[in-house]
Amino acid sequence: MKLTVFGHWGGYPLKNDGTSSYLLEEDGFKLLIDVGASAVSIMQNYVDPAELDAVILSHYHPDHVADVGILQHVRLLGNHEKRLPVLPIYAHEEDERGFSYLTMKDISEARTYHETDTLEVGPFSISFLRTIHPVPCFAMRFTANGKSIVYTADSAYQESFVRFSEQADFLFADTNFFKEMAGKSRVHMASVEVGRLAKLASVKKLMLTHLPQNGSLAQLKNEAAAEFDGEILLAEKGLSITI
């Protein structure tokens, strides 16, 4: 599996960057995970939006879905050699208004996933875990060809992440706070909590994402490293990881 970062900031993007959006590829299949602010502009440096095979959304906060409409319109109005297939966009229905925007006639089609589902999308088998967040949000575990990648999406720390992430080859996790916020948030995780999760779950590699705009990212990484002695990456635009 290959993961490419298009956006990695939490809440809003810094200039020339984007919020949560990641491309997961396997066996030629291209799955876009979340479609945050600037995702479509950034992705065109790495892949033609016309080449996407499917999209999956964790929740409907703007920093994860801001460019859904832009993606629909670039597929509608772009200079394509032939008519594109309808793009499936997988999401939960617990926000009816958000879900309703995912279908555009002849362009995209909303498809529902549920917490207890094991979803088959192209080569990927995807399972879900409800997170701790102000709106319904789901972490995802992607498995293909014997490898597993876990995306926490947005969440405060919860013990159920450990089993959900167990022995994952790669974990990319919401790391929006420094260590002084550990145990104090019901919205996002702190650096030391993410490091502890990676250690307890015995994951092979960790990437910190949904990053804070203020403070030292080197410090954020060092705080996570105090808990986890495996490889730790800081998400950045264009970063590509092959698992």
Report if residue 170 sits inside a domain.
Answer: no
Report if residue 148 sits inside a domain.
Answer: no
Report if residue 165 sits inside a domain.
Answer: no
**β-strands 21-26, 29-33 pairing:** antiparallel
| pLDDT exceeds cutoff 90 at 79 | no
Report if residue 85 sits inside a domain.
Answer: yes
Percent of the chain with pLDDT over 90: 96
Nearest to 131 by CA among 47, 75, 61: 61
Task: Specify the number of domains making up the chain.
Answer: 1
Extract the tokens encoding 78. Answer: 């772009």
How confident is the model over 177-218, as pLDDT tens digits?
999 999 898 899 999 999 999 999 999 999 999 999 999 999
Q: How confident is the model at residue 224 (pLDDT cuts 50, 70, 90)?
A: very high
- β partners of residue 129: 139
Report if residue 71 sits inside a domain.
Answer: yes
Q: Residue 17 sits in which domain range?
A: 1-113
User: In whole angstroms, what is the distance from residue 41 CA to residue 95 CA?
Assistant: 26
The CA distances from residue 40 to 23, 45, 220, in Å, are 11, 9, 28
Report if residue 6 sits inside a domain.
Answer: yes
Report if residue 81 sits inside a domain.
Answer: yes
**β-strands 170-174, 108-112 pairing:** unpaired
Give me the CATH number covering residue 64.
3.60.15.10
How confident is the model over 118-174, as pLDDT tens digits?
999 999 999 999 999 999 999 999 999 999 999 999 999 999 999 999 999 999 999
User: What does the pLDDT average to over 67-85?
Assistant: 93
pLDDT at 200: 98
Nearest to 59 by CA among 191, 188, 149: 188
pLDDT at 86: 98
Report if residue 41 sits inside a domain.
Answer: yes
pLDDT at 69: 98
